[in-house]
Amino acid sequence: MTFTIIFLIAFIASFGLRHWLSNRQMRHVAAHRDAVPAEFATQITLAEHQKAADYTMAKLRLGTLENGVSAIILIAFTLLGGLQLLNMSLLQLLGEGIAQQIALLVSIVLISGILDLPFSWYKQFHLEERFGFNRMNGRLFVSDMFKGIGIGGAIGIPLLWVILSLMEQAGDLWWFWAWAVITAFSLLMQWIFPTFIMPIFNKFQALEEGALKTQIEALLKRCDFASQGLFVMDGSKRSAHGNAFFAGMGKAKRIVFFDTLIEKLNPQEVEAVLAHELGHYKCNHIRKRLLVSFAMSFGMFALLGWISTQVWFYSDLGVTPNPNGYNGGLALALFMLVSPVFSFFFTPLSSLSSRKHEYEADGFAADKSSANDLITALVKLYQDNASTLTPDPLYTAFYSSHPPAPLRIANLKRFT
């Protein structure tokens, strides 16, 4: 029962903290809804500022409801015996073995996905629609969903089979070999995802000849960045939000612009946004993030390797393990459900590191492109994406991967 108490304390604390931070953010945004911050007063209208405030609060309200439902699902799966019932039902149907354990994990993913489906639908076709961002129809939504399920199954089930086989046959150090497999798979996906998976969902066309391409190629030369190509993605068929990114590693790096980004920004501003993204690469942020993720997954697998052998881990979370049989999938399922409750408290560290990287990438962009162009691009993106200019400082410190708009713009002005 000791771990039950520890889990409940962490569960209540994490849920309470999420709720408190969301309420702080809503109150802070609402309190500043009727006045545009002075530094943005000449660029953003009061109506646009109020739209951003309303959009932010609408997303927070939906997020609060989602968190509440997720909390109920977690308790239902664990302390209320849902996982035990599902496990026993599949044992009766399939018997012991890896096939039953894979079925258990796939069932959890499918059940969670089904329960999340109404929220995804509401967010896309009500919330995003209400604020003018949705460009997706129901047919595309369903198509994306089934494509995601198919790809997830085609990749995930064989990977699960490998991990569960290692848990069964690789001895006490199975967790190390499982971590090595996941690490190799993650690196492989850096090439597979942009090359094979993304084109299943979106069309990519080579960036047309013209002023923008000329500027981008000159920027790449200044930054000594070799790319496989410059592409425009049809992001507009799903959303009005814009972005730019590069994907892949080594010689497979490709630069991608959302068509919505090119519509909204002039060539100089697009160049500045890309310079920021290149800054992440040139400042080794991507490599550092990969190394940190590998180190964290190493620790998580080591912990799973130990905790999966402890009877209390199962019994204190409402599950009865097979004392003489195979519990690999059961251990993975419990760990997958419970670990986010504890890892949530480390969110501010990840957010702090990410904001630091954003400042460094901005500095790189200011050096290789133009700080003024990046400022005007960011203001347009804040405006078009209805991003709040007045977030709560504590909410930002805990969650935000990017610095708040006033601080980010003020920092960029140092380079002008």
Given 345, 368, 387, the domain boundary residue is 345
| Residues in CB range of 320: below 8 A, 6 or more apart | 84, 314
pLDDT digits (tens, 9 = 90+) for 31-67: 999 999 998 999 999 999 999 999 999 999 999 999 9
Based on the fold, state whether residues 99 and 144 are members of the same structural domain: yes
Based on the fold, state whether residues 153 and 45 are members of the same structural domain: yes
Binding-site positions read 276, 280, 358
* 65, 400 Cβ separation under 8 angstroms: no
Residue 54: its pLDDT value, please?
A: 97
Is 362 among the catalytic positions? yes
- Per DSSP, the three-state class of 240 is coil
Q: Which of 362, 373, 384, 392 is catalytic?
A: 362
Based on the fold, state whether residues 64 and 195 are members of the same structural domain: yes
3-state secondary structure labels for all residues of 324-349: CCCCHHHHHHHHHHHHHHHHHHHHHH
Binding-site positions for Zn(2+) read 276, 280, 358
Based on the fold, state whether residues 276 and 325 are members of the same structural domain: no
Sign of torsion over alpha carbons 99, 109, 174, 4: negative
- Residue 288 backbone dihedrals phi, psi, to 5 degrees: -65, -40
Q: Which of 128, 269, 271, 277 is catalytic?
A: 277
Based on the fold, state whether residues 226 and 186 are members of the same structural domain: no
Instruction: Write out the residue range of the structural domain in which residue 71 sits.
Output: 2-200+287-345
* 372, 366 Cβ separation under 8 angstroms: no
The half-sphere exposure of 287 on its side-chain side, counting CA atoms within 13 A, is: 8
d(Cα 290, Cα 188) in Å, to the nearest integer? Answer: 13
3-state secondary structure labels for all residues of 104-167: HHHHHHHHHHHHHHHHHHHHHHHHHHHCCCECCCHHHHHHHHHHHHHHHHHHHHHHHHHHHHHH
Residue 25: its pLDDT value, please?
A: 98
Q: In terms of C-beta distances under 8 Å and separation of at least 24 residues, what long-range contacts does 142-146 make, across chains too?
A: 144/201, 145/117
Based on the fold, state whether residues 374 and 226 are members of the same structural domain: yes
Residue 236: its pLDDT value, please?
A: 85
Which stretch of DSSP H or E encloses residue 247? Answer: strand 244-247
Return the ∠ at Cα 277 (arms to 287 and 409), rounded to 5°.
120
pLDDT digits (tens, 9 = 90+) for 166-216: 998 988 899 999 999 999 999 998 888 888 898 999 898 888 888 899 999
* 280, 353 Cβ separation under 8 angstroms: no
The CA-to-CA distance between both ends of the chain, in Å, stands at 60
Q: What is the CA radius of gyration of the chain?
A: 24
Residue 32: its pLDDT value, please?
A: 96
Based on the fold, state whether residues 191 and 225 are members of the same structural domain: no
d(Cα 161, Cα 261) in Å, to the nearest integer? Answer: 41
Sign of torsion over alpha carbons 404, 405, 410, 412: positive
Based on the fold, state whether residues 291 and 230 are members of the same structural domain: no
Based on the fold, state whether residues 21 and 141 are members of the same structural domain: yes
Is 224 among the catalytic positions? no
Report the mean per-residue pLDDT for the chain.
92
The CATH number that applies at residue 241 is: 3.30.2010.10
Based on the fold, state whether residues 190 and 213 are members of the same structural domain: no
Based on the fold, state whether residues 210 and 359 are members of the same structural domain: yes
Residue 196: its pLDDT value, please?
A: 87
Given 345, 371, 392, the domain boundary residue is 345
In this structure, the strands spanning 244-247 and 254-258 are antiparallel
Based on the fold, state whether residues 67 and 123 are members of the same structural domain: yes
Return the ∠ at Cα 176 (arms to 174 and 181), rounded to 5°.
95
d(Cα 134, Cα 203) in Å, to the nearest integer? Answer: 18
* 49, 29 Cβ separation under 8 angstroms: no
Residue 133: its pLDDT value, please?
A: 92
> pLDDT tens digits for the chain (416 residues)?
689 999 999 999 999 999 999 999 999 999 999 999 998 999 999 999 999 999 999 999 999 999 999 999 999 999 999 999 999 999 999 988 899 999 999 999 999 999 999 999 999 999 999 999 999 999 999 999 999 999 999 999 999 999 999 998 988 899 999 999 999 999 998 888 888 898 999 898 888 888 899 999 999 999 888 887 888 998 888 888 877 777 766 666 778 888 888 988 999 999 999 999 999 989 999 899 999 999 999 999 999 999 999 999 999 999 988 776 678 899 999 999 999 999 999 999 999 999 999 999 999 999 999 999 999 999 999 998 999 999 999 999 999 999 999 999 999 999 98
| Residues in CB range of 254: below 8 A, 6 or more apart | 194, 227, 228, 229, 230, 231, 246, 247, 248
Residue 96: its pLDDT value, please?
A: 87
Q: How many domains does the structure of the chain reveal?
A: 2
d(Cα 60, Cα 397) in Å, to the nearest integer? Answer: 16
